[in-house]
Homo-oligomer: A and B are copies of this chain.
């Protein structure tokens, strides 16, 4: 049963021979060009294929190819950056410049997107100068060890992908490809990883080289085989860690190809929105604003920060949030499902104990009326924001929102309530909305 499913999955995700050949040919060509250009300039640099394409662990879905330009350690950072770009631009024809720790080039060769990234060729991972310098060591570590396990890696990646936790970007906070490869090496097979994960507990430590030097506070700790101080799984959030444990148990109990390829989700229609609201009797609010023009690794942490700040704002004002989520397309949406949309016009302000005469005096000077309950003064005061909508319209800009989201919201935002949310027609948002309601 499981074997059948895995075979079916592999059939869909394993690149064909011709795809593999095309990728191989392309990378040989790029690396050759890099070496030739370097020769012309007269610098001691080499092209190096890294990542899943270097190890034949890529899946049909993954189109990224990473080619590094390795510079000698002695060169300055400035020289690396300028020479790196110079070489990359000579190698590529269609490209755009991008920025991570260093600037790099994303080049297009037909269907293939290739990142051409300069790095330092250090002698040892402990002396790296930037995060990318570690990558060649990862490549070297895996190259021999992953042999014969490529299909198992592909299965695990696709499983992670299917359950929505593949990728270590700040949007997803999930499992990186390198992490999947290490897990397969550790447990020998896709199923071996799932069987082990079924019993994972928060704080589990996996240390392939038995050389970890630091204590990590993350839910999952996989010590980097090439860097004893680094947790490869640092990006994995508690919930994604748990989702993986849960999915592993469920798959073993009741295997299904749906884990790898979840059924397509249809956009929620206007009628369905109304029906959900009617059935749940919660009050749904959407804060909507134009998405700031920044990459996801910048955008999503700000969106997550925003939803957290807004929840705190609501709690401070005695509103209980039932659930919340964020979505981003051309517009961004902070979605808040509330237990109630309105509270009374008044609220209690609990004062000092009556026995404390100094504090009591101050309290009574401030509040013209009060009564005594449970030994303390209590004043009934007007509630500043009895309505969620008014609170959001008035106070959102005083929340911690992150730089770009804050700027976007300053330019203008709307607060939609219940059926008004159907004003957001975006198909992807409607799919997100169905998922939001399905999560129960």
Chain A interface (Cβ within 8 Å of chain B)? 198-202, 219, 238-239, 241-243, 245-246, 249, 279-282, 318, 322, 339-340, 342-346, 348, 353-355, 357, 360, 369-375, 377, 379-380, 386, 439-440
Residues of B within 8 A of A241 (CB): 375
- The complex places the Cα of A99 from the Cα of B369 at a distance, in Å, of 42
- The complex places the Cα of A382 from the Cα of B242 at a distance, in Å, of 25
Residues of B within 8 A of A373 (CB): 239
Which of B201, B322, B344 is the one whose CB lies under 8 Å from A281? B344
Report the minimum CB–CB distance from A145 to chain B (whole Å): 29
Given that A239-B372, A281-B345, A322-B348 are known contacts, is A355 also in contact with B440, CB under 8 Å in the complex? Answer: no
Q: Are B344 and A239 in contact (CB under 8 A)?
A: no
Residues of B within 8 A of A239 (CB): 372-375
Report the minimum CB–CB distance from A317 to chain B (whole Å): 12
Q: Are A360 and B238 in contact (CB under 8 A)?
A: no
Which of B242, B353, B379, B440 is the one whose CB lies under 8 Å from A375? B242
Report the minimum CB–CB distance from A201 to chain B (whole Å): 4
Q: Are B340 and A322 in contact (CB under 8 A)?
A: no
Q: Write 30 A-B pairs (CB below 8 A) sorted by A numbering.
A: A199-B357, A200-B355, A202-B375, A239-B372, A239-B373, A241-B375, A242-B354, A242-B372, A242-B375, A245-B354, A246-B354, A246-B360, A246-B372, A246-B377, A249-B357, A279-B345, A280-B344, A280-B345, A281-B343, A281-B346, A282-B344, A318-B339, A322-B348, A339-B343, A339-B344, A340-B343, A346-B440, A369-B440, A370-B440, A379-B440
Residues of B within 8 A of A344 (CB): 280-282, 322, 339
With CB as the reference atom, state the residue of chain B lying closest to A386: B281
Report the minimum CB–CB distance from A215 to chain B (whole Å): 19
Given that A280-B345, A322-B344, A345-B280 are known contacts, is A242 also in contact with B380, CB under 8 Å in the complex? Answer: no
Given that A246-B360, A371-B440, A439-B371 are known contacts, is A281 also in contact with B342, CB under 8 Å in the complex? Answer: yes
- The 6 closest A-B CB pairs, nearest first, are A380-B440, A242-B354, A282-B344, A281-B345, A201-B355, A281-B344
Residues of B within 8 A of A355 (CB): 200-202, 242, 245
Report the minimum CB–CB distance from A366 to chain B (whole Å): 15
With CB as the reference atom, state the residue of chain B lying closest to A237: B375
- The complex places the Cα of A375 from the Cα of B377 at a distance, in Å, of 40
Copies in the complex: 2
With CB as the reference atom, state the residue of chain B lying closest to A373: B239
With CB as the reference atom, state the residue of chain B lying closest to A320: B318
- The complex places the Cα of A343 from the Cα of B339 at a distance, in Å, of 6
Q: Are A198 and B242 in contact (CB under 8 A)?
A: no
Q: Are B246 and A346 in contact (CB under 8 A)?
A: no
- The complex places the Cα of A322 from the Cα of B380 at a distance, in Å, of 10
Report the minimum CB–CB distance from A339 to chain B (whole Å): 6
- The complex places the Cα of A281 from the Cα of B200 at a distance, in Å, of 50
Residues of B within 8 A of A346 (CB): 280-282, 322, 440
- The complex places the Cα of A202 from the Cα of B360 at a distance, in Å, of 14
- The complex places the Cα of A372 from the Cα of B237 at a distance, in Å, of 12
10 more contacts with CB within 8 A, not counting A242-B355, A280-B344, A370-B440, are A219-B375, A239-B372, A245-B355, A246-B377, A249-B357, A279-B345, A281-B344, A282-B344, A340-B342, A346-B440
Q: Are A198 and B348 in contact (CB under 8 A)?
A: no
Report the minimum CB–CB distance from A70 to chain B (whole Å): 41
Residues of B within 8 A of A245 (CB): 354-355
- The complex places the Cα of A318 from the Cα of B238 at a distance, in Å, of 28
- The complex places the Cα of A339 from the Cα of B202 at a distance, in Å, of 39
With CB as the reference atom, state the residue of chain B lying closest to A283: B344
Report the minimum CB–CB distance from A367 to chain B (whole Å): 10
Report the minimum CB–CB distance from A321 to chain B (whole Å): 11
Among A249, A282, A339, A372, max chain B CB count under 10 A is at A372
Report the minimum CB–CB distance from A250 to chain B (whole Å): 8
Residues of B within 8 A of A354 (CB): 242, 245-246
Among A198, A242, A345, max chain B CB count under 10 A is at A242
Residues of B within 8 A of A322 (CB): 344, 346, 348
With CB as the reference atom, state the residue of chain B lying closest to A341: B340
- The complex places the Cα of A280 from the Cα of B202 at a distance, in Å, of 48
